[in-house]
Amino acid sequence: MVFYPQERIGLFIDGSNLYAAARALNFDIDYKGLIELFADKGHLIRALYYTALVDDQEYSPIRPLVDRLDYNGYTMVTKPTKEFTDTSGRRKIKGNMDIELAIDVMEMADHLDHVVLFSGDGDFRRLVEAVQRHGVRVTVVSTVRSQPPMVADELRRQADNFVELQDLQPEIERVLANRDDHHHLPNGNTLPHDADADPDILESA
């Protein structure tokens, strides 16, 4: 990773995308370790985590994650998911946070020297190009080692630096005392403790 001690750094984490990338690499993220890793690289101004929340009066499976990140230095950006039925009649939950993330990056660009974007979504290529015109360096964190790769080629090429998520695993992996530590959902299914979006039930686009 190419960082300079005097840089003002902002972390922007596309929660569902990062979760999917880590799951594809078969490890859980220690978010406290993640923020400490980048705080050591320069002046960490903000660490923002974007996730949609499933509205459920009985139980919100990712509320413990949201609360934990909030206490560990992250700014949480959330909004309710929207439920719809697809063409095959399957219930889907949609929770896209791309607009919120893009607006925050643009608004903060003049106060940052280095944006670290945790996402492989190719839709962010224009955002990266726009902040680079403000003189801001952009590092994209995702993975090309999953099958299929989780990062769009156009996003990787546009970024000033690309960091392979698997290379960070030794420093940011969260080791569970019990690998069966799951959240139980009302329908009987489970979500991993750090899951903020199960791709089987949540559409990110």
Parse the chain into domains and list their residue ranges.
8-203
pLDDT value of residue 101? 97
Helix, strand, coil % over all residues of the chain, rounded to 5: 35, 30, 40
What are the backbone angles phi and psi of residue 146, rounded to the nearest 5°? -85, 170
CATH topology (fold) of 8-203: Rossmann fold (3.40.50)
Contacts (Cβ under 8 Å, ≥6 apart) of 141: 18, 116, 117, 118, 162, 163, 165, 168
The continuous run of DSSP H or E covering 179 comes out as none
Q: Tell me, what's the pLDDT at 151?
A: 97
pLDDT value for 183: 43
| CA distances to 5, 37, 86, 132, 179 from 41, in Å | 6, 7, 44, 20, 31
Residue 90 is predicted with a pLDDT of 75
Please give the helix or strand (H or E) that residue 20 lies within, else none.
helix 15-24
Contact, 182 vs 193, CB < 8 A?
Answer: yes
Successive 10-residue mean pLDDT values, the chain, 205 residues: 94 95 95 96 97 67 81 90 72 76 97 98 98 97 96 98 97 75 41 40 40
